[in-house]
Amino acid sequence: MKPNSLAIKIVQLIFILVLASCGKEEVQKPDSRKITVYCDESIYPIIFPCVQHYDTIGSLVKLTFRKTSAWDAMAKLLSREADAIVIARSYTRYEDSLMKAFNVSPHTRLTLARDALVFYVNKDSPLDTLTDEQIRNFLTDRKYSLKKIYPKLVAEPIFVSNGILSSELVNLNNLVLKNRNLTRPLKIFNSHDSVKNFVKANSNSIGIGYLSHLFAEPDLRALPISFIDSANRYIFPHNVNQPNILRANYPYIVEHYIFVLDKLNDNSMTFARYLFKPGFPQKFFFERGIVPSNAEFRLIEDE
């Protein structure tokens, strides 16, 4: 056999093998129209109905939607196991440091709605209001007494929260404690529903959760909180509701985000835009008592 003929046959064989291997990759390639999204369990009740609606609109992007803790959701994003996450907080200092250490750029994110971290009681509680400073002092100084300030309390109140991996505790640290050490023990449950049930049964307890958790809960009420704002103005206690979130008359405003692993992934961005743009999700957020990102409000001041 001539050398040139042998070379041609080898090239032909390689070409056939390449074609065969390409064909195998095509067969084994996962469905490119599927994405996996993890959701912070604390806001799952307001996001899952939007996912159910999304499944009915005929989108070509098929969604695997899973509930988990806020910390685990962020871990899934950072380890590239999630195409997107929906979460009620941003990066923690630990996560931010980890990203810088491994040269990971901040992810694309959209704000879906504004909620509020609330301190709530049952209808029989003697408390009507608290101040930002009182909450912070009580939780960071074991010698500080709320009972002395509010003598109608039968004892020092029990603060109750969702689990240690929850977004509620991250927001408590960032918005309320201002990174001061928590020294007062909290009563911890594994779900916000368990927190609500405990508060309903204990009038000397104060639940820590989101305003959206109190939707259709007539036996629970969020305490108005007075505070000093960023302009050093005293803001007297206001009811916790949509208008006062918009007016910044409440100190602990929480944003709900969708973080996207890859902004060039059209499938992930399709779902993100579905949650973000005017439509069913934004209307649903409004109906659940929080502030959607894409809505027009006209606030009429009382005379």
Neighbours of 18 (CB within 10 A): 10
Condensed to tens digits (0 to 9), the pLDDT of residues 107-166 reads 999 999 999 999 999 999 999 999 999 999 999 999 999 999 999 999 999 999 999 999
Going by C-alpha positions, the residue among 183, 252, 178, 186 that lies closest to residue 222 is: 252
Band (pLDDT 50/70/90 cuts) for residue 296 is confident
Q: Provide, rounded to the nearest whole percent, the portion of the chain with pLDDT above 90.
A: 84
In terms of Cβ atoms closer than 10 Å to its own Cβ (0-12, 13-18, 19+), residue 186 is middle
In terms of Cβ atoms closer than 10 Å to its own Cβ (0-12, 13-18, 19+), residue 294 is middle
Mean pLDDT in the chain? 90
Specify whether the CB–CB gap between 147 and 188 falls below 8 A: no
- Locate 217 and state its tokens: 């809960």
Predicted model pTM: 0.87
User: Which domains are present in the chain?
Assistant: 34-114+255-292 (3.40.190.10), 115-253 (3.40.190.10)
Specify whether the CB–CB gap between 83 and 49 falls below 8 A: no
Average the pLDDT over 71-90 and give the result: 98
Average the pLDDT over 70-74 and give the result: 98
What is residue 15's predicted lDDT score, i.e. its pLDDT? 31
What is residue 300's predicted lDDT score, i.e. its pLDDT? 64
Going by C-alpha positions, the residue among 278, 280, 212 that lies closest to residue 242 is: 212
Condensed to tens digits (0 to 9), the pLDDT of residues 238-279 reads 999 999 999 999 999 999 999 999 999 999 999 999 999 999
CA-CA distance, 256 to 89, in Å (whole number)?
7
More confident residue, 12 or 170: 170
Average the pLDDT over 33-42 and give the result: 96
What is residue 14's predicted lDDT score, i.e. its pLDDT? 30
Helices (H), the chain: 3-28, 44-54, 70-78, 93-101, 132-140, 167-171, 192-201, 242-246, 266-276, 280-287
CA-CA distance, 245 to 290, in Å (whole number)?
8
Q: Which of 29-33, 45-49, 176-180 has the lowest mean pLDDT?
A: 29-33
Specify whether the CB–CB gap between 225 and 237 falls below 8 A: yes
CA-CA distance, 293 to 128, in Å (whole number)?
30
What is residue 70's predicted lDDT score, i.e. its pLDDT? 98
Band (pLDDT 50/70/90 cuts) for residue 6 is very low
